[in-house]
Amino acid sequence: MKYHIWTEGCQMNVADSQRVGSALEHMGYQMTERAAEADVIILNTCVVRQSAEDKAYGRLSSLQPLKKRNPHLVINLMGCLVGVRSTERLQKRFPYVDVFSPPSDPRPLVAFLNQRDGREESLAEVEGRFALQDEELTLPVHERGQLVSAYIPVVYGCSHACTYCIIPYRRGVEKSRPPEEIIGEARALTAQGVREITLLGQIVDRYGKDEPAYPTLAGMLTRLSALDGLERIRFLTSHPNWMNDALLDAVASLPKVMPHIEVPCQAGDDEVLANMKRGYSVEAYRRLVENIRARIPGVSIATDIIVGFPGETEAQFQNTYDLLADLKLDVAHLARYSPREGTVSARRMADDVPDEEKWRRFRALENLQEGIAAEIHARYLGTETPVLFEEKVKKRWRGRTPTNKLVFVETDEDLRAQVRPVKINWTGPWSMIGELA
């Protein structure tokens, strides 16, 4: 028996797909990269942008011929396209799909396969399989001993509800995972060769806010730092309103926590930020960046920017451009606004910035950030920096610095999962090349 997983979207979906693969391999399935060979196909979907949703529909439609040829094929639609509400509309549109699974929930598929195959497994047993308190999470065979960096969700859902964001509608309200589960999963992953974990949450800084008995994110970083075999810890994504000094000081003081912060700004104009319902001003974001840099020497900072939000004028876009040019952040993840059905912006705001203008603004920021990144990377030239190596790509080993810079080294040594000092001898805007020091 074989399974095939197609994953689109964020790091949370990557982690979810690993858990599905683990569950299926416990049931005797083997992974295949060819959908045509599979007995079970899982589509783990994203709808954060229209392009991602269109890709999911296209992929789903392409499976219909496989289902006609093999009626016993099980197709599982999972993720944000399904969401946490009724699936009636999707069932009518795609009657050949057997199982609809909410984000981060492998249980419907496991229950379907158990019922189909006559396995005697209670709901409690299915629940227990995903509790992870027994630390029995096993990576899929093709990743075991190969995966160096892994993701661990710590907060599911989101309750902030920015006007443009579909996530609260598709992933539900914010819910923190018990700390014992997180630590158990981290311990299980390190036992299987993982050396770096990244804690995930739509607003990861809010970990524990919904459960007073849980530690804060800073507390979780401290507890995870005590694990043997774990070399590096990261977390994303932060929100300007919830990043506090205690968290920054934890990053600065814990050697295993990497000095890299992902904290989206989304726009550099106060009116646009208010329309987005972000809850802070441009000046507050500036002060936050200044505070991060003051408390964490040598830190790298990444941001997200949306161009072409409803009503964004040329002057307002220029404010965003000027903010990015002034702050000189290490990374800027750029996106063109696309309305998501059900969000406040889609219901109440006209998508009035032409697509051509969105592209112009996108490319203007892209060109600006390319120059900024090249300038930052050039400072590494001739220096030595520790790199955790993840995999070999063609003839070069690929790894990352503590500040999340991509580094390539050409060598015949097996560098997987090693942290080695590297002397940087070439830099570009997106990566660097070096040699083992």
Give per-residue pLDDT as tens, 357-388. 999 999 999 999 999 999 999 999 999 999 99
Q: Measured between alpha carbons, how far is 186 from 104 in angstroms, rounded to an integer?
A: 17
> Which two structure tokens, joined as six digits, stand for 231?
């070399």
> Which two structure tokens, joined as six digits, stand for 315?
């002057």
Report the DSSP pairing between strands 2-7 and 30-31. parallel
pLDDT of residue 129: 55
Are domains 2-129 and 384-436 of this chain identical in fold? no
Of the options 1.20.200.10, 3.40.50.1480, 2.60.40.3880, 2.40.50.140, the CATH number for the domain spanning 384-436: 2.40.50.140
77 has a pLDDT exceeding 80: yes
Instruction: Specify the DSSP class assigned to residue 35.
Output: G
Question: CA Rg, the chain, in Å?
Answer: 22
The amino acid sitting at 412 is: D
Q: Per residue in 291-303, pLDDT tens?
A: 999 999 999 999 9
pLDDT of residue 138: 78
Summary mean pLDDT of the chain: 93
The amino acid sitting at 11 is: Q
Average pLDDT over residues 13-21: 91
Q: Per residue in 424-437, pLDDT tens?
A: 999 999 999 999 99
Of the options 3.40.630.30, 2.40.50.100, 3.40.50.12160, 1.20.1440.230, the CATH number for the domain spanning 2-129: 3.40.50.12160
pLDDT of residue 126: 56
Cα distances (Å, whole numbers) of residue 266 to 67, 163, 308, 318: 42, 12, 11, 13
Contact 402, 391 (CB under 8 A): no
Q: Per residue in 131-151, pLDDT tens?
A: 444 445 778 888 888 899 999
Q: Please report how many Cα atoms fall inside a 13 Å half-sphere around the Cα of residue 326, on the Cβ side.
A: 14
Confidence of residue 124 (pLDDT cuts 50, 70, 90): low
Average pLDDT over residues 119-127: 59
- In the chain, domain spans: 2-129, 384-436
Confidence of residue 4 (pLDDT cuts 50, 70, 90): very high
